[in-house]
C-alpha cells in the first residue's frame, strides 16, 4: 500500500441553472487501496470540516451493479480501465502527483443536476415506452413450457446485463442512447416471450429515444468500448435488423 498526493479538477455546478466551473483541489495521503469514490469521500469530509460544500456525486451499491455512479474521469467514462464502473476504479491506477479531471456525463438527454450528478430519467421513460413484455401477474405458463436454446439464452443475458449507467451516452460523441435501447431490444427479442411485441417495441423505444434528445448512432463504437458490462455492438446491429423487419411487417394502426 502506498500513499498518493493528488491534484483534482472537479466540475462544480450548484444546480441545473448554474453555469458551472472547474474547481481545483489538492488532496494528500490517499491510499492506493481506496476506490475513487472513497477518495471523494475523504475529500468531502475534508471540505465539510473546512466549512466548504462537499462535491455531490451519484453512488449507491458501490459494487458495480446498481448503475448509479458515473463520472467522466480523465477523459473517459468510468475512468481509464475497461469493463468497470466508477465505484470499481481503485486509486492504485493513478500515479503520485497526477491531476485527475472529474466531469459529469455530458448529453442533452442527461441534464446536470448538481456537480457530478445528472438526471438519467430519460432511460426510465424509454423503458416505459416499450422495454418490457406485456404480461400481467398470474396466469403465466409453466416456466419450462417453452424451451429456450442455451445459445439464445446466453446472448439474451449478455444484453440484459445493461445496468443503465449511461456511460454509452457519455462516451458517444453524438450522445446517442443506441446501445442502451438496443441492449433491451436484443435481450427481449432473443427470447420467445419477447417476440410477440417485437415490431411495436422497436418503434416505441426508438421514438422515445429521439424525443428525449439523444443523438443518432454513427458507429464509432465508443459506447461498447466504454460499457462497464461490455455490451457488444452486435446488439445495435440486431436493433437495425429489427427495425427493418418491423418497417416491412408492421401494419398501420
Partner 1 sequence: MALTGLFLYIFLIEHLIANLLLLNNDNGEAYTIYAEVLGSAYNIPLRIIEFGLFFFLLYHATNGTRLWITNRNAKGIHYFVNRASENSTFFSRFMIQSGSVIFIFLVIHLRSFFVHYRLETPDDTMYQGVVKAFENPLYSWFYIIAMILLAFHLVHAFQSAFQTLGLRHNKYTPFIKSFGVIFSILICAGFALIPVYFLYINNTGGH
Partner 2 sequence: MKLDSKIPAGNLAEKWSNQKFNYKLVNPANKRKYEIIVVGTGLAGAAAAASLAELGYKVKAFCYQDSPRRAHSIAAQGGINAAKNYQNDGDSVFRLFYDTVKGGDYRSREANVYRLAEVSSNIIDQCVAQGVPFAREYGGLLDNRSFGGAQVSRTFYARGETGQQLLLGAYSAMMRQVGLGNVEIFPRSDVQDIVVIDGRARGIVLRDMVSGKIESYIADAVILATGGYANVFYLSTNAKGCNATAIWRAHKKGALFANPCFTQIHPTCIPVSGSYQSKLTLMSESLRNDGRIWVPKDPNDKRPPNEIPESERDYFLERKYPSFGNLVPRDVASRNAKEMIDDGKGVGLTGKAVYLDFAEAIQRLGKDSITEKYGNLFEMYEQITNEDPYKVPMRIYPASHYTMGGLWVDYNLMTTIPGLFALGECNFSDHGANRLGASALMQGLADGYFIISYCIGDYLAQSKKDKLTTDAPEFKQAEKDVSDKINRLLNVNGSKTVDELHRELGMVMWDYVGMSRNAEGLTKAKKMIKDIREDFWKNVKIIGTNEEINQSLEKAARVADFLELGELIAEDALQRMESCGGHFREESQTEENEAKRDDENFSHVAAWQYNGADKPEVLHKEQLQFEFVKPSQRSYK
* HSE value, Cβ hemisphere, 13 Å, CA-based, for 145: 7
Q: In this structure, are residues 249 and 202 in contact, taking their beta carbons and an 8 Å threshold?
A: no
Residue ranges in 121-180 that form contacts with partner 2 under rule CB under 8 A: 121, 123-124, 127-138, 140-144, 147-150, 153, 156-157, 160-161, 163-164
Q: In this structure, are residues 118 and 104 in contact, taking their beta carbons and an 8 Å threshold?
A: yes
- 171 near partner 1, judged by CB under 8 A: yes
- 241 near partner 1, judged by CB under 8 A: yes
Grid cell of 2 as nine digits:
502506498
How many residues sit close enough to partner 1 to count as binding (CB under 8 A)? 42
Contacts of 64 (CB under 8 A, 6+ apart): 84, 85, 87, 88, 163, 228
| Member of 59, 68, 72, 201 binding partner 1 (CB under 8 A) | 72
- 210 near partner 2, judged by CB under 8 A: no
Q: In this structure, are residues 58 and 46 in contact, taking their beta carbons and an 8 Å threshold?
A: no
- 74 near partner 1, judged by CB under 8 A: yes
Letters for 57-86 (x = contact with partner 2 by CB under 8 A, - = none) are -xxxxxx-xxxx---------------x--
- 179 near partner 1, judged by CB under 8 A: no
The pairing of beta strand 76-77 with beta strand 117-118: unpaired
- 174 near partner 1, judged by CB under 8 A: yes
- 226 near partner 1, judged by CB under 8 A: yes
Min CB(19)–partner 1 separation in Å: 10
- 54 near partner 1, judged by CB under 8 A: no
Torsion of CA 166, 168, 172, 175, to 10 degrees: -40
CA–CA distances in Å: residue 61 to residues 64, 79, 139, 172: 7, 18, 34, 25
Min CB(56)–partner 2 separation in Å: 5
Residue 14 binding partner per list partner 1, partner 2, none, with a CB distance cut-off of 5 to 8 Å that depends on partner kind: partner 2
Contacts of 211 (CB under 8 A, 6+ apart): none
Closest CA to 65 of 135, 162, 157: 162
| Member of 20, 25, 27, 38 binding partner 2 (CB under 8 A) | 38
Judged by the rule CB under 8 A, the positions of this chain that interact with partner 1 are 9, 11, 22, 72, 74-76, 80, 101, 103, 106-109, 171-176, 213-222, 225-226, 233-234, 236-241, 243-244
Amino acid at each position: 500500500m502506498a500513499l498518493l498526493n493528488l491534484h483534482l479538477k472537479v466540475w462544480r455546478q450548484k444546480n441545473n441553472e448554474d453555469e458551472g466551473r472547474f474547481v481545483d483541489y489538492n488532496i494528500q495521503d490517499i491510499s492506493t487501496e481506496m476506490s475513487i469514490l472513497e477518495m471523494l469521500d475523504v475529500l468531502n469530509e475534508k471540505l465539510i470540516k473546512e466549512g466548504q460544500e462537499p462535491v455531490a456525486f451519484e453512488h449507491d451499491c458501490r459494487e458495480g451493479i446498481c448503475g448509479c455512479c458515473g463520472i467522466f474521469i480523465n477523459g473517459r467514462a468510468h475512468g481509464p480501465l475497461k469493463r468497470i464502473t466508477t465505484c470499481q476504479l481503485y486509486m492504485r491506477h493513478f500515479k503520485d502527483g497526477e491531476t485527475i479531471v472529474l466531469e459529469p456525463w455530458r448529453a442533452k438527454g442527461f441534464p446536470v443536476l448538481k456537480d457530478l450528478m445528472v438526471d438519467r430519467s430519460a432511460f426510465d421513460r424509454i423503458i416505459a415506452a416499450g422495454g418490457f413484455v406485456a404480461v400481467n401477474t398470474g396466469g403465466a405458463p409453466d416456466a419450462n413450457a417453452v424451451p429456450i436454446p442455451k445459445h439464445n439464452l446466453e446472448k439474451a443475458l449478455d444484453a440484459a446485463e445493461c445496468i443503465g449507467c449511461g456511460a454509452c451516452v457519455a462516451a458517444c460523441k453524438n450522445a446517442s442512447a443506441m446501445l442502451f435501447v438496443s441492449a433491451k431490444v436484443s435481450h427481449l427479442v432473443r427470447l420467445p416471450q419477447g417476440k410477440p411485441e417485437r415490431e411495436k417495441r422497436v418503434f416505441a423505444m426508438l421514438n422515445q429515444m429521439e424525443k428525449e434528445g439523444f443523438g443518432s448512432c454513427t458507429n464509432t463504437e465508443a459506447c461498447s468500448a466504454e460499457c462497464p458490462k461490455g455490451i457488444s455492438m452486435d446488439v445495435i446491429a440486431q436493433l437495425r435488423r429489427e427495425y427493418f423487419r418491423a418497417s416491412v411487417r408492421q401494419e398501420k394502426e
